[in-house]
Amino acid sequence: MKDKRIDHAGAAAAFIADAPHLAFHDERLWDMRQKRDAQMHLLPEWQELRTLASQIKEHALANLPEYLEQFEENATRNGIRVHWARDGAEHNRIVAEILQARGATTLIKSKSMVTEECDMRPYLAARGITVTETDLGERIQQLDDQLPSHIVVPAVHKLTGDVARVFATHYGTDPKADDPRQLAEAQRQAARPVILHADAGMTGANFAVAETGTFVVCTNEGNADLSATVPGVHIATLGIERLVPRLSDLGVFVRLLSRSALGSPITQYTTHFRGPQDGGEMHVILVDNGRSARLGMADFWTSLKCIRCGACMNTCPVYRRSGGLSYGAVYSGPIGAIIDPTFNERKYSTLPFASTLNGSCTNVCPVRINIHDQLYKWRRVLVDHHQMPFVKREIMHMAGKLMGQPRLYRAAISGTETALGTLPRFALYNWLNPWGRHRELPHPVKETFHAWYRRNRSAPGAADTEKTKTDPTKTGRTKDTGQ
Amino acid sequence: MKVGLFVPCYIDAFYPRVGIATLELLERLGQQVDYPLGQTCCGQPMANSGCNSDAAAAEALFVRNFERFDAIVMPSGSCAHHVRDHFDAIPQTDAVRHVRTHTYELVEFLHDVLQVGDFPWAEFPHTVGLHNSCGTLRALRTASMSELGEPPFSKPMGLLSKVRGIRFATPARPDECCGFGGTFSVAEEAVSARMGLDKVRDHHDAGAEYIVSADSSCIMHQQGCAERAGIPLRFIHIAEILNGARE
């Protein structure tokens, strides 16, 4: 498959060029990070909770087949219909079948990353089923035909004026009325009739409990509860990694989730779904869609621990300055950059490089995913799989050769032994040129440290070179200092 | 103790005074320091770009240059992090293991190994903002990290606070990455430069005259951003201040 590589750098540059959006986006997400810090400081056991959460998830993932079957058995006993979907296509077909069997043509739903992953809305639309997102941010993104830019706050890259324009186009409201309360009210007025008359409702799930066969949905707007309860038919779709073994495990995860995500102690609604309402139906679709394969990846399986809190996005200085859409994927930010390549290596091959490897994401992750280590490891995998653009690959190859040969290296940088003349030729051309677009170059200097040392401390250093040269050493190379 | 001095490639080429200050400082502290002339680079640029096999020659050369030392000291957190934590492009021989476990970033070496109590020659009557590179902060852990809520500590601040006359400015986001990130600085130049601009503004707004750091790569990037934006900040490596730089 020859998909085009996502141009994260280009999309990020465009995002940065828009000063008001950039400033709001950075401040808003940094504020969430700070609120998260404040919550962390209130809980002396915070790091212990992270460790517990990580251990529970690792245990659940290591025993996933057993827990999935346990869940299925208990959920079925509760009157829930459990479906298994190998991939997105199977998931969408199952949803369509459930709806078509009941003659349903309208589906209301609250946000679910899995349905985005499966690209479900277009599939259902083509079969005459109207899907309406009920969560404010997700609805804005649906109307604007964009992916969510953030796992938790999907329209965070938009200013109120942007929302006003979207609503004006689709709801006929005043494009200049950008008061957030008015906008929320416009959405409420537009959504409530749809909710009341929908044929079926759909939600995701944050956690599924194996021992009880129940699942939990955490939201702040309460639309998931409307979607789940008003129509009478509730379809919950969830990735197989949502499983936790015991109900008591939720005491760990629920405490971490909203504190990490928004910096609030708990979401407004934490709803436990235990079975269908009287006369109603409840379906759970367990979606694999690449997860089993990921579980088999020695360096990357722990990314399945993710509870989708978005803390890594909020803290990520790159994400805050590039916006979620620049990742061109369902999952953006640091967690997206380590998950997305499992869906399509070539298309998402640039994402693990959209990071400074600063490590802040790993520190905030409530389930202790070593995100920045995985970014580092993905780079190796992508290079090994020939997914690095040719020019950069060649530069690294040349640099690597040069750095292994001191005499050549010195010759390359010593044409003048000064200033920018010391930059090796490869550094002056093409790929490295962007440095100067928004930055000055380093100042010229009279001589390198190497030259200074030879002038001022020459004797011992010269001896060192000789020693190195005549000693082949354990690493097995014979010509060390010159070829 | 025989100390081997590693001077990273960009310090060698652009910030020789940082190499000189490091050497002089270690000598002042009574160390016997050698600078092997056959050195080039630690391999980090290639390895961080995923091209690990291309780091092998540099790593092998590094080992040949430094295996005979009791301690390998470098004025760069990211290089020390690479050698210690990522140096695996070559077979892990005894020599490689020795080098990896005896490599120190300068601040760690002064603080943890030499346990330097004071710098009587050092005076720096200026307000400085300390920039901890992500390599020193989150990999080498020379200071506490805001995300972890751990009890505050800072080895570089501990050393700098022994310098006469120095004052500290506290930026609003003290441990946010400055955006250098090695090849990230060119591959993602827009984001990188914007992060750098935000970083230097933060320090300037906090009243810093100087940004001081244990990593010249961050400094090179931030200085470029500040100069382009006309922000009147100066930049200095921690080795220079501790060695008694006056301005």
Per the CB < 8 Å rule, is B176 touching A317? yes
Type of residue found at B207: G
**Are A266 and A322 members of one domain?**
no
**Are A54 and A190 members of one domain?**
yes
**Are B109 and B158 members of one domain?**
no
Look at residue A436 in the predicted model and tell me its pLDDT: 86
pLDDT band at residue B242, thresholds of 50, 70 and 90? very high
**Are B176 and B84 members of one domain?**
no
Look at residue B224 in the predicted model and tell me its pLDDT: 96
DSSP run (H or E) holding A214: strand A214-219
Answer yes or no: is B31 within a domain. yes
Look at residue A366 in the predicted model and tell me its pLDDT: 98
- CB-based contact, A426 to chain B, within 8 Å: no
**Are A19 and A91 members of one domain?**
no
- CB-based contact, A393 to chain B, within 8 Å: yes
- Enumerate helices (H) and strands (E) in chain B, giving the number of each: 13, 8
**Are B142 and B109 members of one domain?**
no
Q: Name A69's Cβ contacts closer than 8 Å, sequence gap at least 6.
A: none
Query: Which positions in chain A touch B36 (Cβ < 8 Å)?
Result: 461, 464-465, 468
With CA atoms as reference, the chain B residue closest to A378 would be: B50
pLDDT band at residue B110, thresholds of 50, 70 and 90? very high
For A454-483, letters b (16+ CB in 10 Å) and e give beebeeebeebbeebbeeebebeeeebbee
Query: Which positions in chain A touch B179 (Cβ < 8 Å)?
Result: 317-318, 356
CATH number, position B161: 3.40.50
Per the CB < 8 Å rule, is A399 touching B186? no
Answer yes or no: is B51 within a domain. yes
Per the CB < 8 Å rule, is A41 touching B149? yes
Nearest to A409 among B40, B55, B67 (CB): B40
Domain boundary (A247, A265, A289) is at A289
Answer yes or no: is A371 within a domain. yes
d(CA A56, CA A134): 32
DSSP run (H or E) holding A109: strand A106-109
Answer yes or no: is B119 within a domain. no
Look at residue A420 in the predicted model and tell me its pLDDT: 46
Answer yes or no: is A400 within a domain. no
Look at residue A432 in the predicted model and tell me its pLDDT: 66
Q: Name B200's Cβ contacts closer than 8 Å, sequence gap at least 6.
A: B211, B222, B225, B226, B229, B231, B233
Look at residue A182 in the predicted model and tell me its pLDDT: 94
Look at residue A468 in the predicted model and tell me its pLDDT: 39
pLDDT band at residue A469, thresholds of 50, 70 and 90? very low
Q: How many CA atoms lie within 13 A of A153 on its CB side?
A: 18
Closest by CA position to B218, among listed B192, B239, B242, B188: B192
pLDDT band at residue A309, thresholds of 50, 70 and 90? very high
Answer yes or no: is A356 within a domain. yes
CB A362 within 8 A of CB A371: yes
Number of domains in chain A: 3
Number of domains in chain B: 2
**Are A209 and A72 members of one domain?**
yes
pLDDT band at residue A415, thresholds of 50, 70 and 90? low
Type of residue found at B92: Q
pLDDT band at residue B210, thresholds of 50, 70 and 90? very high
Look at residue A422 in the predicted model and tell me its pLDDT: 45
Domain boundary (A265, A289, A313) is at A289
The residue of B6, B23, B90, B147 whose CB has the most chain A CBs within 10 angstroms, and thus the best one to mutate to test that interface, is: B147
- CB-based contact, A230 to chain B, within 8 Å: no
Question: What residue numbers bound the domain in which B107 lies?
Answer: 2-113
Answer yes or no: is A73 within a domain. yes
CB interface of A with B, residues 117-176, below 8 Å: none
pLDDT band at residue A482, thresholds of 50, 70 and 90? very low
Beta strands in chain B (DSSP E): 2-5, 32-34, 71-74, 103-105, 127-131, 167-169, 210-213, 234-237
Answer yes or no: is A398 within a domain. no
Query: Which positions in chain A touch B39 (Cβ < 8 Å)?
Result: 406
pLDDT band at residue A417, thresholds of 50, 70 and 90? very low
What backbone phi and psi angles, to 5 degrees, belong to A395? -60, -45
**Are A340 and A326 members of one domain?**
yes
- Higher-confidence position of A2 and A67: A67
Answer yes or no: is B159 within a domain. yes
Look at residue A481 in the predicted model and tell me its pLDDT: 33
Per the CB < 8 Å rule, is A477 touching B192? no
**Are B228 and B163 members of one domain?**
yes
Closest by CA position to B154, among listed B142, B172, B168, B145: B142
Nearest to B148 among A321, A358, A363 (CB): A363
Answer yes or no: is B163 within a domain. yes
Answer yes or no: is B202 within a domain. yes
Whether pLDDT at A472 is above 50: no
**Are A157 and A268 members of one domain?**
yes
Look at residue A111 in the predicted model and tell me its pLDDT: 85
**Are B136 and B103 members of one domain?**
no
Minimal C-alpha gap between A373 and chain B (Å): 10
Answer yes or no: is A396 within a domain. no
Per the CB < 8 Å rule, is B55 touching A46? no
CATH number, position A173: 3.40.50.10420
Query: Which positions in chain A touch B86 (Cβ < 8 Å)?
Result: 376
**Are A271 and A211 members of one domain?**
yes
What backbone phi and psi angles, to 5 degrees, belong to A330? -60, -45
Look at residue B217 in the predicted model and tell me its pLDDT: 95
This complex has an ipTM of: 0.97
Write down the mean pLDDT value for chain A: 91
For A232-251, letters b (16+ CB in 10 Å) and e give bbbbbbbbbbbbbbeeebbe
Whether pLDDT at A452 is above 70: yes
Answer yes or no: is B247 within a domain. no
The residue of B136, B145, B177, B234 whose CB has the most chain A CBs within 10 angstroms, and thus the best one to mutate to test that interface, is: B177
pLDDT digits (tens, 9 = 90+) for A313-336: 999 999 999 999 999 999 999 999
Whether pLDDT at A217 is above 90: yes
**Are B69 and B172 members of one domain?**
no
* Mean pLDDT of the B82-94 span: 97
CB interface of A with B, residues 44-63, below 8 Å: 46-47
Answer yes or no: is B118 within a domain. no
Whether pLDDT at A464 is above 80: no
**Are B133 and B236 members of one domain?**
yes
Question: What residue numbers bound the domain in which A463 lies?
Answer: 405-470
* Mean pLDDT of the A156-168 span: 97
Look at residue A413 in the predicted model and tell me its pLDDT: 77
Query: Which positions in chain A touch B147 (Cβ < 8 Å)?
Result: 37, 315, 360, 363-364
* Mean pLDDT of the A270-280 span: 96
**Are B24 and B67 members of one domain?**
yes
Per the CB < 8 Å rule, is A435 touching B194? no
Domain boundary (B86, B113, B140) is at B113
Answer yes or no: is A476 within a domain. no
With CA atoms as reference, the chain B residue closest to A355 would be: B184
Torsion A343-A349-A354-A360 (CA) sign: positive
Tell me what percent of the residues of chain A surpass a pLDDT of 90: 83
Answer yes or no: is A304 within a domain. yes
* Mean pLDDT of the A38-47 span: 97
**Are B94 and B158 members of one domain?**
no
**Are A75 and A217 members of one domain?**
yes
Whether pLDDT at B11 is above 70: yes
* Mean pLDDT of the A33-42 span: 98
- Worst-scoring range by mean pLDDT, A207-221, A460-474, B66-80, B150-164? A460-474
Domain boundary (B73, B88, B113) is at B113
Look at residue B122 in the predicted model and tell me its pLDDT: 98
Minimal C-alpha gap between A72 and chain B (Å): 38
Write down the mean pLDDT value for chain B: 97
**Are B43 and B89 members of one domain?**
yes
Nearest to B194 among A321, A443, A447 (CB): A321
Domain boundary (B113, B148, B167) is at B113
**Are A114 and A83 members of one domain?**
yes
pLDDT band at residue A430, thresholds of 50, 70 and 90? low
- Worst-scoring range by mean pLDDT, A101-105, A465-469, B108-112, B201-205? A465-469
CB interface of A with B, residues 444-473, below 8 Å: 445, 447-454, 457, 460-462, 464-465, 467-469, 471, 473
**Are A76 and A195 members of one domain?**
yes
* Mean pLDDT of the B172-198 span: 96
**Are A220 and A109 members of one domain?**
yes
CB B52 within 8 A of CB A414: no
**Are B238 and B132 members of one domain?**
yes
With CA atoms as reference, the chain A residue closest to B5 would be: A461
**Are A65 and A180 members of one domain?**
yes
**Are B23 and B78 members of one domain?**
yes
Look at residue A461 in the predicted model and tell me its pLDDT: 44
